Structure formats: structure tokens, C-alpha cells
Amino acid sequence: MGLVGVHENGNEIAANGLSEIPLSSKNRYRRMDSDIAEEEEETSLTRRENTKKYVLACAIFASLNSVLLGYDLDQNYAFKYLADFFAYQSADVGVMSGAIIFIQEDLKITEVQQEVLVGILSIISLLGSLAGGKTSDAIGRKWTIALAAIVFQTGGAVMALAPSFKVLMIGRLLAGVGIGFGVMIAPVYIAEISPAIERGSLTSFPEIFINLGILLGYISNYAFSGFSSHINWRIMLGVGLIPSAIIGAALFVIPESPRWLVMQNRIEEARLVLSKINENDKEVEEKLSEIQVAAGMANAEKYEAKAIWREILHPSPPVRRMLITGCGIQCFQQVTGIDTTVYYSPTIFKNAGITGNTQLLAATVAVGFTKTMFILIAIFLIDKLGRKPLLYVSTIGMTACLFGLSLSLAFLGHEKVGIILAILSVCGNVAFFSIGLGPICWVLSSEVFPLRLRAQASALGAVGSRVSSGVISMSFLSVSRAITVAGTFFVFGVISCSAVAFVHYCVPETKGRTLEEIEIVFQDEGESAGGREVEMGDAERLMQKS
């Protein structure tokens, strides 16, 4: 009977599992499991936060070269336009007229030499961008950023110490090459190290830093204009060395692009970098496998520059669609007239009927403030709403504002309603540009190309942007004299209409996709038309691939 009782008690214990274990023991086990889970979750959250901070730091440091572009754009703006504009201003405001006035006074340069000094930057920077593609494939993305900073520092130092126009031109040439390298490589590098979910925001950073560079130029011109003409312009140009010096220090922090490392068969180094920019080891291995597949296709071409340019000049249908999207968006960014809207805003406002110096300056400052603020808004929206919706809002809004500006200048000039409409149209145009076409241009041109073509195709797009900007800026005054300022902005409005059609037919949505997945999007011809069925088909293929 005792054995039976033991047996029955054993069955009872077995049946009830831990029901016979004291309550305090069960709670202890539960607490241990809970503590382990909490520790793992805390570790995961810590790694996630560290990863975000690290990638953010890399994006910021890589974007510092764009400060140099913005700073020099501001100097060009001062060189070409502010002297004329501020000739109408009081003596107090006239100190902001830019470095060229003091260079002319100190070195006694002619008007032709002024034009050469200004115009050479655009030409040399686009050549620098074109050379930067091949350079970044040869020595890596990180060291191309470093080279850009070194070349610019050398050029800036030569300009700041130049005793004559010839030496000043040598420095200007070097600075142009450095800027060309920097503006091309920053978006490519950021796109290659960023997680897909945040790539749009991070790749927009160069556009923000361009505006910070312009602001630095304004501050520099104002702060140092009180010095003697032999010193002040040298300091103005020398201040541009600060961002490139910071980049030198940043080289000890930022890693090489993992995609470039895989192209060089440096797999372990690539894995180490991916472990710093991804949240868990599983994701690291998945990304590494995807990159190796893409790099394998690239290495099949022996990674030769001739093979790359042969493919760019004689593209297959998918590559042709990539080139149309990536280079086309760069050109539309400029041919819609944004530079003329910003550069010539004083002229536009004078045509509208604003004659007071204070009012002209206030309206111009409002344009710059609006442009910067809406770029910041775009950064928060680009990875939430997607590229294409923001581009629709941007191009449609720009079209309306450009036609509104044309209307106000043609029929409502010097009337209060016309002045208000002109100010709203100009500010609205830069706002819509900054929330879409401005930053997204750099995002798309750095993410749509396959690994084997990315650097050099992106460089080609940057060249298209610089050429378009130069043509529009240099022809604006001549065209406006021929067909009036109102007629010129009407033409820009028509071009902006075509930009809407371009976005609809040629730009796919890339939000949330890895760079390797974006390649698949362009494999199907229907994707360029935005077909829903094609997107679903791509999703199915990606799931099968997973």
C-alpha cells in the first residue's frame, strides 16, 4: 500500500509538474528568466543606440565637405551679385559685399580677371567630380573624402596667402578640385553605410551642410570686412579651411564603406564595419551576403574603368533607366531655376516693387531662412513618407509658385498685392524645393546605381548638376533682358511641369529598400512607370530571395 501511495504521489507530482514546488522557488526561476530577458533587451537597445550614433557621426563628418561647396557658392554669390546689389545700400550694410571687392582693391585685378576667378570654380569642380568617381573606386570612399579635404586645404591656404592673381588662380583651381571630389563622394559614402530605413534622411545631410556653408560665408563676409583690404579677404577665404581640418580628425572615427571593402575582397574588414552599423549579428551576415552577391557581379567585369564607362555609354535597359533617374533628377534640380531664385532674389523683389533697402534685405533674408528650415523638415519626412510623394509635393508646389511669381511680375508689379504675391511665391518656391527636389536629388543619385557603377555614375550626375547650374545662372540676365524677368520665370514654370511628369514616369519609390534590392526594381521595365503590379512582383522575388 505504501508503494502504491508513493507511486500515486509520484504520478501526481509528475502530472502537476512544478505545482508541488514551493511558490517562492517558482518566483525565483521566473525572476531569473525575466532578468535574463531584460538584460538581453537592454543590450540590444544599447547596441541600437550606439549604432545610430555611430552612423549619424559618419554622415555628419562625410558631409563636412559640402560646407566647402556652400561656402564657395556664397563667395561666388558675393563675387557676382552682392557687389551690384549692395551698391544701393547704406555704408553700414555695404560691408557685406563679399571678398571680391577687397581682392580687387588689394591685388588690382581687372573685371575680366574677376569673371575668370568666379567662373573657374564651376568648371573645375565638375571636372573634380568626374575624376572623383574613378578615384573613389581606386582608393576607397573614405580616402577620397580625405583627399578632397587635403586638396581643398592646400588650395585654400594658397588663396589666403596669394601675393598675385596668378597664385590666387592656382589656389582657386585646387579648391575647385577638392570641392568637386567632396560633393560627389559624400552622398555615395553615406548611402553605402546607412541602414535602409534611415538612408534618405542621412543622405540628405550634404544639402543641409551646403546651406550651413552659405551661412558661414555670410557670417565671414560680415565679421571680417572691417579689417584692412590686404587682410580681410584672406581671412574670409582662410575660414573655409576649418571644415576640412575637422574632416582630417574625423578620419580616425569614420570607417571605409563596407561595399567598397567587399569589392576589394576584404571580407573580414567589411564584416567588422557592418557590425558597427547594424543592430545584430544576423543582420550583419544577411547584409554581407547581399553585398557579396552584388560585388560578385561587379567583379565579373574585372572592375576596370573602361568596362564601367563602356556600360555607362552603352547601357543595358536597366542601366539606362538608372541613368535617366539618377542623372535626370540632378539636372531637374537645377533647370527649374532654384539658383536664379536665390541669387537674384533682390532683383526679383525690386522688379516686384520693393524699393526700400531694409525691405529688400529683409525679404532676401526670409528666402534664406525658409530654404534652410524646410530642408530640416524634409529630413524628418523622407524616410516616413517616401521619396516619390515628397517629389510630387515639391515639383507641383514649385510649378504653382513659379507661375505665381511670373503673374505677379507681369501684371501686378509695384502694387501691394503683387509685392506680397512675389514674396510668397519666391519663399514658397524655395520651400517646396527644399522639402523635395533639393535633398532627394542627392539621395536618389547615390542609391539607384549598382555597386559596380555607383561612384562613376554618381559623379556623372554631379557633373550634370554643376553644368545645368552654370548654364542657368550665367544665362539668366541675358534671357530676362530678352523676354523679361516675368517671362523667364514662366519658362521655369513650364520646365517644372515637365519635372512632375519626370517624377511620375521615371522615379521609382526606394524608401526602405536596401541598395541591393533597388537594383532589382530597375530590372523590370514597368517599374519606371510606377506600376503597382511590378512592385508586388519585385516584393515576391525579394521574399523568395530571403
Give the CATH number of the domain where residue 496 resides.
Answer: 1.20.1250.20
Per the domain annotation, does 150 fall within a domain?
yes
Residue 182 is assigned to a structural domain of this protein: yes
Lowest mean pLDDT among 224-233, 334-343, 441-450: 224-233
Whether residue 479 is found in the same domain as residue 351 = yes
What pLDDT sits at residue 358? 64
Question: Residue with C-alpha cell 521615371?
Answer: 506
Phi, psi of 336 (to 5 degrees): -80, 0
- Give 153-162 contacts, CB < 8 A, sequence gap 24+: 153/178, 153/241, 153/244, 153/245, 153/248, 154/178, 156/237, 156/238, 156/240, 156/241, 156/244, 157/238, 157/241, 159/234, 159/237, 160/234, 160/235, 160/237, 160/238, 160/241, 161/234, 162/107, 162/234
How far apart are the C-alpha atoms of 372 and 218, rounded to whole Å?
Answer: 14
Q: What is the mean pLDDT of residues 477-506?
A: 91
Domain match, 431 and 520 both: yes
Shared-domain flag, residues 347 and 225: no
Q: Is the pLDDT of residue 142 over 70?
A: yes
334 and 250, same domain (yes or no):
no
Q: Is residue 37 part of a domain?
A: no
Same structural domain, 411 and 327:
yes
H helix runs in 162-238, sequence order? 165-193, 199-203, 205-224, 232-238
Claim to verify: residue 103 and residue 216 sit in the same structural domain: yes
Residue 344 placed within a domain: yes
> Which among 127, 88, 83 is positioned nearest to 225, based on CA atoms?
83
Q: Say if residue 215's pLDDT is above 90.
A: no
d(CA 459, CA 438): 17
pLDDT reading at 457 higher than 80: yes
pLDDT tens-place string over residues 254-270: 899 998 999 888 899 99
- Confidence class of residue 390 from pLDDT cuts 50, 70 and 90? very high
236 and 95 share one domain? yes
Tens digit of pLDDT for each residue in 522-541? 876 444 444 443 343 444 44
Query: Residue 279 — pLDDT band, cuts 50, 70, 90?
Result: confident
- For residue 95, the model assigns a pLDDT of 26
What is the spatial distance between Cα 493 and Cα 293, in angstroms, rounded to a whole number? 44
Q: Which residues contact 145 (CB under 8 A, 6 or more apart)?
A: 62, 65, 181, 182, 185, 186, 189, 247, 251, 254
Output the average pLDDT for the chain: 75
Q: Report if residue 50 sits inside a domain.
A: no
The pLDDT assigned to 489 comes to 92
Residue 152 is predicted with a pLDDT of 81
Q: Which residue has the higher pLDDT, 465 or 229?
A: 465
Same domain, 233 and 330: no
pLDDT of residue 418: 81
Q: Is 175 found in the same domain as 97?
A: yes
Q: What percent of the chain stands above pLDDT 90?
A: 11
Do residue 320 and residue 444 come from a single domain?
yes
DSSP letters spanning 17-70: GGGGS-HHHHHHHHHHHHHHHHHHHHHHHHHHHHHHHHHHHHHHHHHHHHHHHH
53-62, 84-93, 340-349: range with lowest mean pLDDT: 84-93
Rounded CA-CA distance 465/329 in Å is 9
Secondary structure of residue 352 in the 3-state scheme: helix
Q: How many domains does the chain have?
A: 2
Per the model's pLDDT, the better-predicted residue between 311 and 357 turns out to be 311
Q: What is the dihedral of CA 296, 297, 303, 308, to 10 degrees?
A: -160
What pLDDT is attached to residue 402?
A: 94
Q: Which pLDDT value is given to residue 194? A: 87
| 217 lies in the same domain as 360 | no
Distance, CA of 258 to CA of 283 (rounded, Å):
14
Which of 186, 82, 174 is CA-nearest to residue 144? Answer: 186
> How far is C-alpha 78 from the chain's CA centre?
23
Mean pLDDT is lowest, of 66-75, 143-152, 482-491, for 66-75
CA–CA separation, 530 vs 325, rounded Å? 13
Closest Cα partner for 102 from 117, 121, 89? 117
Range from 75-79, 237-241, 284-288 carrying the lowest mean pLDDT: 75-79
Burial class (CB in 10 A: 0-12, 13-18, 19+), 330: buried
Whether residues 100 and 216 fall in one domain: yes
Asked whether the beta carbons of 172 and 159 are under 8 A apart, the reply is yes
Q: What residues make up the domain containing 478?
A: 315-525
- 99-103, 181-185, 219-223: least confidently modelled range: 99-103
Judged against a pLDDT cut of 70, whether residue 300 lies above it is answered with no
Angstrom distance (rounded) from CA 381 to CA 188: 21
Residue 28 identity:
R
CB 189 within 8 A of CB 62: yes
Residue 274 located in a structural domain: no
What does the DSSP 8-state code read for residue 256? Answer: P
Q: Quick check: helix, strand or coil at residue 82?
A: helix
| pLDDT tens, residue by residue, 113-123 | 765 666 677 67
Each residue's pLDDT tens digit, 420-431: 888 889 889 999
At 348, the amino acid letter reads: I
The mean per-residue pLDDT over the stretch 463-488 comes to 82
Q: How confident is the model at residue 376 (pLDDT cuts 50, 70, 90)?
A: confident
In a domain, 270, yes or no: no
Q: Which domain-ending residue is among 206, 238, 254?
A: 254
Q: Any idea what DSSP says for residue 525?
A: G
Q: Cell 534590392 maps to which residue?
A: 517
Residue 391 has pLDDT above 90, yes or no: yes
Between CA 386 and CA 538 the distance in angstroms is 17
pLDDT tens across 407-420, in order? 988 888 677 888 88
Residue 198, pLDDT score: 84
Residue 387 lies in a domain: yes
Tens digit of each residue's pLDDT (9 = 90 or more) over 30-52: 555 566 666 666 666 777 788 88
Three-state SS sequence of 432-456: HHHHHHHHHHHHHHHHCCCCCCHHH
